[in-house]
Amino acid sequence: MNKWQKLLVVIALIGAVAFVVEHKKKQGFACAGGICPLPSPDEASSVSPVVEPVAQQTAPLPKLLDLGAGHCVPCRMMTPILDELKITYAGKLDVVFIDVLENKEAGEQYRIRTIPTQIFFDAEGKELFRHEGFFAKEDILVKWQELGINLSNE
C-alpha cells in the first residue's frame, strides 16, 4: 500500500469510529472505558449515587464534581478515590457525585459527553478544569495544585 492508500484507510476508520460513537451516544452516555449501556429497569432502580452531596458549608469551598453512572466500570473505579478525597479534605474541598442516568438534567446542564467526567470548580463556582475518563487520586491532587488551590494541612 502506498502512502495515500494508507491515509485513506485511516480516514475511513476515523469516520467509522465517529459514526459508531455518535450512534451509541444516542443510546446512552459514552463511557471512558467503552459505551455504557442503559441499565435495565431493574438495574436503574438499584443504581445509587456513589458519593452523596456534602451539606452546605459556612464558607464556600472549591468543588470536585464527578458525573458518572453506577454501572460504568471507570465510574466505579472512581468511587474509592472520591470517598477518600471527601474524607481526607473535609472542610477544604467539596466532593460531589451525580449519577447522570438518574439525573439526566445534570448531564445536559454540564454538557457531559463521556462518563466519568470530573469538573473542578473554585470556591466561587467558576469552572477551572474538566477531565473525561478515569482520573487517579494523585493526578487530581496535582491538578488542584496546578490550579492554585492548596489542599495541604499547612
Cα–Cα distances (Å) from 24 to 17, 20, 38, 72, 94, in that order, read 10, 6, 10, 14, 32
Catalytic-labelled residue, pool 30, 75, 112, 115? 75
Find out whether 111 and 35 touch, Cβ atoms under 8 Å.
no
Torsion of CA 110, 129, 18, 114, to 10 degrees: -50
Chain-centre distance of CA 14, in angstroms?
Answer: 24
| 126: phi then psi, degrees, rounded to nearest 5 | -80, 130
Quick check: is 72 catalytic?
yes
Cell readout for 83 is 470517598
Catalytic-labelled residue, pool 51, 67, 69, 72? 72
| DSSP of 19-33 | HHHHHHHTTSPEETT
Quick check: is 31 catalytic?
no
Catalytically annotated residues: 72, 75
